[in-house]
Amino acid sequence: MAARRKPPWLKRPVPRAAPVRRMEGLLREHDLHTVCEAALCPNRGTCFERGTATFLIMGDVCTRACGFCGVGHGVPAGLDPGEPAQVADVAARLGLSHVVVTSVSRDDLPDGGAAHYAATLKAIRRRSPEASVEVLVPDFGGRRESVKLVLTERPEVFNHNVETIARLYPAARPQADYRRSLEVLRTAAGQGTSVVKTGCMVGLGETEAEMKALLEEVSAMGVNVITIGQYLQPTRANLAVAEYVSPETFGRYQGWGEAMGLQVHAAPLVRSSFEARESYLRASVGRQILRSRDTISRTYGGLTG
């Protein structure tokens, strides 16, 4: 089947080469990976030009083979104990005020890599104590203790992507489970995490009714923020694009989610960590307003005029 022609709303301006090369050189100097490069993200050039990146820890080989993902899969190497310090060093050199860390799935590790996440968070806190930190974690095989271990380091944002609707998991995420991902989010919300976030793709064959149900389900788990973006086939070996979803449809999804109390970032080129700092700041302000309203309600709610 011939590849679908991309619509004009998916085109991005060409970034300036010099800052992109500087970012790539810094990452190679420290032998670090980014999901921007490993997953062939369409926003890679834009983020590198701005001096931001999403760090990919625990290597660039995943133990899972998701149908949508461009990251390589197979048998990964052992963990690098020096990686947390390297990530912290590069984040400090870049002057990042909001540091985003993600990883491949490491089903070969007893804790799924949770301790390595915790070590990375500690290292970032030491080098950049004023920075906020966002983690985008795998499901850790459903181990609640692994989720809680990451949360002990109190990331400002805890993100775990549901990726797509439950019906499409056998093709898109054959080694994952939709309900398990919801439980990861519920666990994080139950621990009082500052901001709980998730993300999903559209254009894989989902219906609008299924998307509305997904929004309802993640909202019920205590999620604060959701990102919704267009799936783009990273290589010919990955799932084909079923549909290029129109900006108008993204607008409907945003309206539905906001009516459920979610902060929604929905647009064709939205990705989990794109403009993550701006998303975090907006979510933080929203939570402060809600806390203020709650305090006023508790203080004055029993009084009559």
In sequence order, the 6+-apart residues with CB closer than 8 A to the CB of 194 are 154, 155, 156, 157, 158, 284, 287
Residue type, 52: T
Phi-psi region of 153 (alpha: psi -120 to 50; beta: other; left: phi over 0): alpha
In sequence order, the 6+-apart residues with CB closer than 8 A to the CB of 27 are 33, 34, 37, 53, 90
Q: Is residue 249 part of a domain?
A: yes
Q: Is residue 3 part of a domain?
A: no
Confidence check: pLDDT of 303 > 60: no
- Nearest-CA neighbor of 138 among 185, 171, 98? 185
Q: Is residue 5 part of a domain?
A: no
Model confidence at 304, pLDDT cuts 50, 70, 90, reads very low
Question: Domain count of the chain?
Answer: 1
pLDDT value for 176:
97
**179-187, long-range: CB < 8 A, 24+ apart:** 180/139, 180/142, 181/139, 182/217, 182/218, 182/221, 183/142, 183/144, 184/137, 184/139, 184/140, 184/142, 184/147, 184/160, 185/160, 185/218, 185/221, 185/222, 185/223, 186/221, 186/222, 187/144, 187/147, 187/148
pLDDT value for 3:
57
Model confidence at 286, pLDDT cuts 50, 70, 90, reads low
Angle 230-277-107 from CA coordinates, rounded to 5°? 65
**Residues 199-250: pLDDT tens digits?**
999 999 999 999 999 999 999 999 999 999 999 999 999 999 999 999 999 9
Q: Is residue 270 part of a domain?
A: yes
**Residues 124-145: pLDDT tens digits?**
999 999 999 999 999 999 999 9
Q: Which two tokens stand for residue 242?
A: 């079923």
CB 204 within 8 A of CB 168: yes
CB 91 within 8 A of CB 134: no
pLDDT value for 22:
85
Model confidence at 287, pLDDT cuts 50, 70, 90, reads low
Q: Is residue 129 part of a domain?
A: yes
Q: Is residue 229 part of a domain?
A: yes
**Residues 151-187: pLDDT tens digits?**
999 999 999 999 999 999 999 999 999 999 999 999 9
* CA dist., res. 149 & res. 153, Å (int): 8
**Residues 20-73: pLDDT tens digits?**
788 888 888 888 888 778 767 776 777 788 778 889 999 999 999 999 998 999
Q: Is residue 301 part of a domain?
A: no
10 Å CB burial of residue 294 (0-12, 13-18, 19+) is exposed
CATH code for position 101: 3.20.20.70
- Nearest-CA neighbor of 102 among 64, 54, 153, 171? 54
Confidence check: pLDDT of 263 > 50: yes
Q: Is residue 122 part of a domain?
A: yes
**Residues 74-125: pLDDT tens digits?**
999 999 999 999 999 999 999 999 999 999 999 999 999 999 999 999 999 9
- Nearest-CA neighbor of 69 among 78, 80, 60? 60
Model confidence at 284, pLDDT cuts 50, 70, 90, reads confident
pLDDT value for 229:
96
Residue type, 299: T
The two most distant CA atoms of the chain are separated, in Å, by 70
**277 is in which domain, residue-wise?**
13-293
Strand partners of residue 170: none
Q: Integer distance in angstroms from the first to the last C-alpha of the chain?
A: 70
pLDDT value for 295:
40
